[in-house]
């Protein structure tokens, strides 16, 4: 049997306190394929109590025992790998190859990176006669989004385990099935009762209750900036730590010396990957003004070469966006771009040719975008690219930094020293030079309204630790 109508609390699969369920929609068909239970404050209370009771024993587990647990989790994850990929493809419409090679792969990669980081992690440090000790912060509320479900679950659960924390996880109710499989993995790996708990539910009914709970010591939240502000305000009353990875509107600066064909084409693919549903997607492409028309031509060809359709069909590049709500939001913003005078290069409102149902969005490129237009300011979270002309490097930097967000930025140049110097002036938590390979040991997080704190490898472990100084410890 599956556990879709249950929660994992204190080492057992349990019924919700109040029997409320909701459909989980396959965005490629707009039809429900399962139902999950929705939690309440009473379910949160049970889960937090279990985590609090488990903390004293688990917090003093030796590092080697925590490493052994993480390795067992990794082994179970590998055993369930194909089920995870199928679940992600079904719940969020990701093409199956992308779900397998990127979505499921991300969770495995973060488990490996956390294990490697923990092997070398130092929890105690002598400074003269003072001993500095890094200790687990306590009970953690982990709230994760639907767009990269396993990536974000593992980015929080793995470092929390590494630090010696106990936790309650609330995955997104929009794409929850992969999270339920992950809870089954935690159970199969022999995670002690109460160390890991899962409660499904909505943000107001479960997430905010977790954030405000007096026995929760830390909230780690990934989602929209709007929701992150609500979580932070709720958590403020109990003065708990809040780590947040929020929205983005990342600039991709293509310098005049770049390999233009490659830089523009790859920028389109980077923006549209995961159907444009990535917080660090390079959604604002900045190109030299005198090469703007050339950029539009290249971007149009790249976008129109993408196959949008059935996530299970061979050769599909982009599936649907995750929900009707997201589809409607993206359509409104595309129409706003047209109304505000941006040049529609390709795509536009409505579904692409072919599917007559499903939340499919036409890969859309706008040119002649100015940075005060709505499509350059708001996070669209769909396959929509804005191309902005600039005149000189100083203007490019000013445009890139002229945003409330600061999650990521991108620079393309054949002169690596020039790219490095420009990166130093960009107000973003991550800067990617010339489309590098993904690095799970690099810090990930944002400046400004893109959040605070850092995830990945040892950076993530640090977020789940308190620092204690024991003065007079002796030589």
| Residues known to be catalytic | 245, 279
Burial 272-281 (b: 16+ CB within 10 A, else e): bbbbbbbbbb
Q: Which of 267, 318, 261, 257 is nearest to 288 (CA)?
A: 257
- Spatial contact of 420 and 210, defined as CB atoms under 8 Å apart: no
Query: Phi/psi zone of residue 100: left (φ > 0), alpha (ψ -120 to 50 degrees), beta?
Result: alpha
| Class of residue 462 by CB neighbours under 10 A (exposed 0-12, middle 13-18, buried 19+) | middle
Could you give the CA distance from residue 51 to residue 138 in angstroms, rounded to a whole number?
Answer: 9
Q: How many residues does the chain have?
A: 475
Could you give the CA distance from residue 197 to residue 167 in angstroms, rounded to a whole number?
Answer: 6
Q: CA dist 433 to 110, 248, 299, 324, 417, Å?
A: 22, 18, 19, 35, 11
In sequence order, the 6+-apart residues with CB closer than 8 A to the CB of 356 are none
Q: In Å, how far from its chain's centre is CA 120?
A: 26
Angle, CA 157 vertex, CA 153 and CA 162 arms, to 5°:
150
């Amino acid at each position: 049997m599956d556990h879709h109508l249950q929660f994992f609390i204190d080492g057992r699969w349990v019924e919700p306190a109040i029997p409320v369920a909701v459909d989980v929609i396959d965005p490629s068909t707009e039809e429900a394929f399962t139902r999950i239970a929705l939690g309440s404050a009473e379910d949160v209370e049970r889960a937090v109590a279990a985590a609090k009771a488990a903390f004293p024993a688990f917090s003093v587990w030796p590092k080697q025992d925590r490493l052994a647990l993480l390795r067992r989790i990794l082994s179970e994850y590998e055993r369930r790998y194909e089920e995870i990929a199928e679940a992600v493809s079904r719940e969020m419409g990701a093409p199956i190859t992308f779900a397998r090679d990127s979505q499921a792969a991300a969770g495995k990669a973060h488990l490996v990176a956390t294990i490697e980081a923990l092997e070398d992690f130092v929890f105690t440090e002598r400074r003269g006669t003072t001993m500095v000790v890094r200790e687990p912060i306590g009970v953690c509320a982990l709230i994760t989004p639907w767009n990269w479900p396993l990536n974000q679950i593992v980015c929080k659960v793995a470092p929390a385990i590494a630090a010696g924390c106990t936790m309650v996880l609330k995955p997104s109710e929009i794409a929850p099935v992969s999270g339920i499989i992950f809870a089954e993995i935690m159970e199969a790996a022999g995670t002690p009762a109460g160390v890991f708990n899962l409660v499904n539910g909505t943000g107001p009914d479960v997430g905010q209750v977790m954030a405000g709970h007096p026995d929760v010591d830390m909230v780690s939240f990934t989602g929209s900036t709007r929701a992150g502000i609500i979580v932070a305000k709720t958590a403020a009353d109990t003065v708990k730590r809040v780590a947040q990875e929020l929205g983005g509107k990342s600039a991709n600066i293509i310098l005049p010396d770049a390999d233009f064909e490659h830089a523009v084409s790859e920028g389109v693919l980077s923006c549209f990957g995961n159907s444009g549903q990535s917080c660090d997607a390079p959604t604002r492409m900045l190109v030299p003004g005198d090469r703007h028309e050339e950029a539009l031509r290249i971007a149009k060809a790249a976008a129109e070469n993408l196959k949008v359709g059935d996530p299970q069909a061979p050769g599909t590049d982009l599936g649907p966006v995750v929900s009707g709500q997201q589809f409607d939001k993206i359509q409104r913003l595309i129409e706003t771009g047209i109304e505000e005078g941006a040049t529609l290069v390709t795509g536009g409102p409505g579904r692409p040719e072919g599917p007559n149902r499903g939340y499919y969005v036409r890969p859309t490129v706008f040119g002649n975008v100015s940075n005060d237009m709505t499509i350059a300011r708001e996070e669209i979270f769909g396959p929509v690219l804005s191309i902005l002309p600039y005149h000189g490097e100083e203007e490019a930097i000013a445009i890139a930094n002229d945003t409330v967000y600061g999650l990521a930025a991108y620079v393309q140049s054949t002169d690596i020293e020039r790219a490095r110097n420009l990166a130093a002036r960009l107000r973003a938590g991550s800067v990617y030079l010339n489309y590098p390979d993904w690095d799970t040991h690099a810090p990930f997080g944002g400046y400004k309204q893109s959040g605070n704190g850092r995830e990945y490898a040892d950076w993530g472990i640090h977020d789940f630790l308190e620092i204690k100084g024991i003065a007079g410890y002796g030589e």
